[in-house]
Structure 1
Amino acid sequence: MRDQDNAELLAKAHDGDQEAWREIVRRHLRLVWAVARSHRLSPEDAADVHQAVWLILAENLTRIRRPDRLSAWLTTTARRESLAVLRLRGREEPTDLWEPADTSPNPEDLALGNDTDSRLWRAYTTLTDRCRKILHLIAFAPELSFRQMAEAVGIPPNSLGPTRGRCLEVLRRRMTTETVG
């Protein structure tokens, strides 16, 4: 098996040859692990990424167009999975299990929150349709990629970041103007 190229190994693995699958994993095991760990994931998260990459490969054995570039494909897949884990972990908030959280807001916080919410929505309604659509997608569909968001809005993907930044800046200015005025 060690003398066979990736195309042969992928074909054999697709046909159920366990030795071919083991050889693919043996050849690329350290690469996939290194990519996951290079994203500073915990050992547990890196192991999850590692496992996910091999599962994705198993699901796509016949879709690999360039078997000679399998290492690059695995690297890209591991990077994407690592970034997905980082995005998910970034949304987690640690809680103190020993001290019950007081979730009831005090009256002052309620009043300030309602005022801020009202000012935000009034400023939001003054934005252009494009800006409202971009900010809506960011807030309510964060799982979309830049490309998917750009397609939904109808702009080139490389314009989405700067356009989003301008929209947020206009929103900030309008909220500030309303506070001062």
Structure 2
Amino acid sequence: MDSNSEVLDAARAALPGWELLVERYSRLVWSVPRSFRLSYADAADVYQCTWLCLAEHLTRIRQPERLGAWLIRTATRQSIAVVRARGREVPLDRWEPESSLPAPEEVAVTNDRQRRLWTALMTLNERCQRLLCIAAHSPDLSYAQVAEALGMKLGNVGSTRSRCLAQLRRKLEGQL
């Protein structure tokens, strides 16, 4: 079974298609929560939730060729939900001396740098946003996997990435 359509049909029929889907997209799905720097346990939860969502929506997938993008989008949404939930938690390690905390000015500079980067990134088109996020957080993915996940031609990944990085660089320089 080569095409996503065949694999999805087999998975819907409870044939070995599900195992093929997991084998084919496991690294891609796993890379998304790890790109959010979630703990291993949180990333594993996101990974499982993503596959559960696919199982629940298996009969509603209308564009099998876009399955990689669907999985990335679902894992991203799950990861963002975890990040938001964890952002409300205030970890407190009573054994760590307070001197190990960064100085307020370091926090301010780091926050400002991150805000400017994300602001500039969000002004790019969706394709560039997704491509740069995958490139930054999942460098071990091959161009073929990135092309499939984003619905691009394999030969366009490198040049599109270069153009997107150049646009991002110009936008960041314009913020200074």
After TM superposition, the score normalised by the length of structure 1 is 0.49
Q: What is the Cα deviation at residue 36 of structure 1?
A: 1.1
Which position in structure 2 is the counterpart of 1:11?
A: 9
The reply to whether residue 35 of structure 1 matches residue 11 of structure 2 is no
CA–CA separation in structure 1 for the residues paired with 2:20 and 2:62? 19
Q: What is the Cα deviation at residue 16 of structure 1?
A: 1.4
Give RMSD over aligned pairs.
1.6
Task: Structure 1: give runs of 5+ residues left out of the alignment.
Answer: 99-181
Task: Structure 2: give runs of 5+ residues left out of the alignment.
Answer: 96-176
The verdict on how the C-alpha distance between 1:38 and 1:10 changes in structure 2, with shifts beyond 3 A counting, is same
Q: What is the Cα deviation at residue 65 of structure 1?
A: 1.4
**Structural mapping, 1:17-96, within 5 Å:** 17=15, 19-95=16-92
**Which letter does structure 2 place at the counterpart of 1:30?**
R
Structure label with greater radius of gyration: 1
CA–CA separation in structure 2 for the residues paired with 1:53 and 1:26? 14
CA–CA separation in structure 1 for the residues paired with 2:19 and 2:5? 14
After TM superposition, the score normalised by the length of structure 2 is 0.51
CA–CA separation in structure 2 for the residues paired with 1:82 and 1:27? 21
Q: What is the Cα deviation at residue 32 of structure 1?
A: 0.5
CA–CA separation in structure 2 for the residues paired with 1:50 and 1:61? 16
Q: Tell me which of the two structures has the higher relative contact order, counting C-alpha pairs closer than 8 angstroms and 6 or more residues apart.
A: 2
Q: What is the Cα deviation at residue 59 of structure 1?
A: 0.4
Q: What is the Cα deviation at residue 9 of structure 1?
A: 1.3
Q: What is the Cα deviation at residue 4 of structure 1?
A: 2.9
Please tell me whether the aligned partners of residues 9 and 20 of structure 1 are also in contact (alpha carbons under 8 angstroms).
Answer: yes
Matched positions, count:
95
The verdict on how the C-alpha distance between 1:35 and 1:96 changes in structure 2, with shifts beyond 3 A counting, is closer
Alignment partner of 1:88: what SS? helix
Q: Deviations over 1:126-156 (max 9, x none)?
A: xxxxxxxxxxxxxxxxxxxxxxxxxxxxxxx
